[in-house]
Structure 1
Amino acid sequence: MDMPIQKALAEGVLKILRPLARVLLSHGMACGTFTELARRAFVDAAFEQLRREGHRPTVSSVSALTGLSRKETARLRDAAPEEDASSQQRYSRAIRVISGWVSDPAYLDHDGQPAALPMEGEFGSFHALVRDYSGDITPGAMLQILQASGNVELVDGRPNLKTRAYIPTATPLERIGILGTDVAELVETIGHNLEAAPVDRFFQRKVSNYSIPPDALPAFREHSNQQSQALLESYNAWLMRHQVDASEDPDQPPCYVAVGIYYHEDFSREGQS
């Protein structure tokens, strides 16, 4: 075993787990529950790794790979994960509705901005927008979701898009769902880049500075919000132009792709260089 790598991994894992532990503790999750979930994650990952390597995964092989007993491995393999599918559906479809609103010409005004939409109508209405982009969520339910998140307000009875970034504010389950989805995607990207050849690595960059005065942070936060939102909208417009229906080519199903941007402040690192 390469001890320097194991030490670096241990240090990296602790950096991930400390902020995660703060989130879990603040929401009432005990260490024992987290330990059980960690064991299940190791078993799930081991089964997946063996399949990816072309092996037939068994309880014995997964037990050997993870260090867990065969009995424990079998128990964890059969444990059904608890997921809030309805919450994730609301989250993803709200994003799709806003994406259509800011990029589809049918829902833009003469200046190319998201229009204040009539509530009803076959074309160019809020009902049509929800029909085109949210699947089976009703217009009334979608309006409630977007109003609760602060994205939409009614002006003279017309839904008006106030902000283009969908961040649930009144739906704790959806906000917690972001923790699982977005952090997982970042970790998977970093994991891919650790093993992939340079030409196959995914883009992974950040900018940081330890010498910014605190009174300058609000201005930079606003600047970064505006620039990041504009970039994400550019990406979204490209994706909307190239998306396909899953039924168009059953032999070549569409792929999922995501680009994320985050902002972070940390006063505890003051004075580092």
Structure 2
Amino acid sequence: MQSPTLPPSMLSALQRVMRPLVRLMLRKGVTYTMFADLLKQVFVDVAHHEFRLNETPPTDSRISLLTGVHRKDVRRLRSDAGKAPEALPANITLGAQLVSVWTTSPPFCSAPGQALPLPRLASVGGDCSFDALVAKVSTDIRGRVVLDEWLRLGVVRLDEQDCVHLEAQAFVPQKGFDEKAAYFGHNLHDHACAAVHNLSCEGQPFFERSVHYDALSAASVEHLRDVVAKDGMQTLLAFSRLAAELESVDTPSEEQRQRITVGLYFYTEATDPDSSKTPGP
């Protein structure tokens, strides 16, 4: 039953947000029944953790009332609930740290954002080698293990002189669906959290802005795509360097630590012929 206080625009917005997600699910064989079961678990989990009264966990009946999920299903889902999945797998967080050091810290870069090709072995490159880069971030894993995985993902390439070249200025796997899916979940989750927070009008809003035009030629779109890729990457790298500098001197307790996500995206598609053009100045 629809709440009398539910704005009609809310359901319209949710319907639009879900369309690309449903497109992905259909392409990957996720049926409505499978997704409905998954969504039922999410409804119960969010109600359990985020809709408490006086910090008291809600009863099965209250969760059923809030979510519309049958009380027997609520009881089953709460008993089956395990540990929440980590935001990003360990191999991806390690990869992001390595790329950050490679692009911001001498002797691994010639300038901020300019990663140098690194000799693969420490016996050849010494402190300016791929082995040394990995050792600087983690002593628990060998450089060869990281290199093999990064070659598989298309993050780096190995030249004829046995030097390792970074293929991207951030850890974004070019291959490997599981790794891409991890970033998909992380980035879309945090963007949605910022948007939901702003729509809820609770506390200081998060920065969330975009520009959009609907009467551009294909050539203009490609020009914008190239500019956004180049300038946008430099902007993100500047934010990354600043965050790394601040983190290197911050000393928060375990309870006071906070994480951030700063993102930038570009999207284009054919304009709906029934929609109006971008108003002029």
TM-score computed with the length of structure 1 as normaliser: 0.88
> Which letter maps to 2:215?
S
Does the 8 A contact of 1:151 with 1:164 survive in 2? no
Q: Is it true that 1:164 corresponds to 2:165 in the alignment?
A: no
C-alpha displacement of 1:33: 0.5
**2:158 alignment partner, SS class:** strand
State the distance in 2 between where 1:83 and 1:120 align: 38
> Which letter maps to 1:233?
L
C-alpha displacement of 1:30: 1.0
Does the 8 A contact of 1:149 with 1:166 survive in 2? no
State the distance in 2 between where 1:111 and 1:240 align: 12
Tell me which moved more, 37-46 or 188-197.
Answer: 188-197
Gaps of 5+ in 2: none
Q: Are the structure 2 counterparts of residues 9 and 27 from structure 1 closer, same or farther at C-alpha, using a change threshold of 3 Å?
A: same
- Name the structure 1 match of 2:195: 190
Q: Is it true that 1:235 corresponds to 2:239 in the alignment?
A: yes
State the distance in 1 between where 2:210 and 2:133 align: 35
TM-score computed with the length of structure 2 as normaliser: 0.85
> Which letter maps to 1:170?
K
Tell me which moved more, 186-195 or 133-142.
Answer: 133-142
Matches within 5 A, 1:1-273: 3=4, 5-51=6-52, 54-80=55-81, 88-109=89-110, 113-121=114-122, 123-133=127-137, 136-155=140-159, 156-196=161-201, 200-244=204-248, 249-250=252-253, 252-270=255-273, 271-273=275-277
> Which letter maps to 1:263?
F
C-alpha displacement of 1:231: 0.4
State the distance in 1 between where 2:175 and 2:113 align: 30
Q: Are the structure 2 counterparts of residues 112 and 73 from structure 1 closer, same or farther at C-alpha, using a change threshold of 3 Å?
A: closer
Over the aligned positions, Cα root-mean-square deviation in angstroms equals 2.8
Q: Are the structure 2 counterparts of residues 23 and 112 from structure 1 closer, same or farther at C-alpha, using a change threshold of 3 Å?
A: closer
State the distance in 1 between where 2:113 and 2:229 align: 21
**1:109 alignment partner, SS class:** strand
Q: Report sequence identity in percent.
A: 23
**1:105 alignment partner, SS class:** coil
How many residues are treated as equivalent by the alignment?
271
Tell me which moved more, 209-218 or 87-96.
Answer: 87-96
Q: Are the structure 2 counterparts of residues 79 and 93 from structure 1 closer, same or farther at C-alpha, using a change threshold of 3 Å?
A: same
Tell me which moved more, 116-125 or 62-71.
Answer: 116-125
Gaps of 5+ in 1: none
Does the 8 A contact of 1:96 with 1:134 survive in 2? no
